[in-house]
């Protein structure tokens, strides 16, 4: 378990299937900047138990154990990690995402990772603010980074280096 100031990160497990099933099938959770990727219970049950080398996947929980989101870190070919996060709509704007991202980044730096990246839609101001609060700096603007409902969206890549 990784502890932040207001949350803790617990490795995602089969006991979190109901949470994931509910929110992954809710367009408000994916939001206007990411595609809705509906998932079935059977797909989750097949996918969750598998070992995923180089992937860190955590549930974001309050100290009381309330599940408020998820955060993932994926090992890249260059040894860096790319992070991504989502918080459920009722828990947005409360600082949980910033605290979760800080906790994961601190953990990655503690285990020797030198560089962490993240990508956000240029219009996704809340996600960009999370990264900027943590000291990430913009390093690349990607045109047509993601297709969503037949519309191409751009992306902004951020990085933070240890040290």
Q: Which pLDDT score is estimated for 133?
A: 97
Helix (H, G, I), strand (E, B) or coil at 14: helix
Query: In this predicted model, what pLDDT tens digit does every residue of 115-155 receive, in sequence order?
Result: 999 999 898 999 999 999 999 999 999 888 777 667 788 88
Residue-range domain boundaries for the chain: 2-161
The mean pLDDT of the chain is 88
Write out the E strands in the chain: 2-3, 8-11, 55-61, 67-75, 81-87, 115-120, 137-148, 151-161
Residue range 2-161 forms a domain whose CATH class is alpha beta
């Amino acid at each position: 378990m990784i502890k932040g100031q207001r949350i803790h990160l617990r490795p995602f497990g089969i006991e979190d299937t109901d949470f994931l099933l509910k929110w992954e099938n809710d367009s408000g959770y994916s939001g206007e900047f990411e595609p809705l990727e509906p998932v079935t219970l059977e797909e989750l049950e097949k996918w969750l138990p598998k070992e995923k080398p180089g992937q860190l996947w955590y549930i974001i929980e309050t100290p009381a154990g309330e599940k408020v989101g998820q955060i993932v870190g994926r090992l890249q070919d260059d040894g860096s990690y790319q992070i991504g996060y989502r918080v459920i709509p009722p828990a947005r704007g409360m600082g949980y995402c910033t605290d979760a991202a800080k906790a994961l980044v601190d953990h990655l730096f503690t285990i020797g990772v030198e560089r962490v990246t993240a990508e956000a839609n240029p219009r996704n101001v809340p996600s960009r603010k999370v990264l900027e609060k943590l000291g990430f700096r913009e390093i690349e603007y990607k045109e047509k980074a993601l297709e969503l409902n037949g519309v191409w969206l751009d992306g902004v890549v951020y990085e933070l280096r240890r040290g």
